[in-house]
Amino acid sequence: MTENEFNALADTVFKRIEHALDETDIDYDSNGMVMEIEFDDGSKVIVNRHVPNREIWLAARSGGFHFGRQNDAWISQREGDELYAKLATLIQTGSGSIIEF
């Protein structure tokens, strides 16, 4: 995939996450390249696009997770988790809120 194709797909990911978060009282800040989702206890989940590898990265207290595009989904290269499912789990752990993307 080209850099432009990746960035268009990553833009869609960020918009989808932002839309879901806008339906909650969870604080987040996004500049389009990096999103910080902050919880009441001060912990965060960071969503980052990594252009050189064409991956979306998540960082949380529990670790770092890298997601590449496979068959129209973003799949973890190590665990095989799907991006939105993993992010929902991390958000539920941090905030107690159940979120759907």
Tens digit of each residue's pLDDT (9 = 90 or more) over 18-66: 999 999 999 999 998 999 999 999 999 999 999 999 999 999 999 999 9
C-alpha separations of 82 from 27, 29, 31, 40, 95 in Å:
23, 23, 23, 26, 20
**Number of domains observed in the structure of the chain:** 1
Best CA proximity match to 17, nearest among 85, 96, 84, 95: 84
Domain of 54 in residue numbering reads as: 3-95
The whole-number pLDDT of residue 32 equals 80
Q: What's the CATH code of the domain at 66? A: 3.30.920.10
Whether 101 is in a domain gets the answer no
pTM over 0.75: yes
Burial tier of 8 (Cβ tally within 10 Å: 0-12, 13-18, 19+): exposed
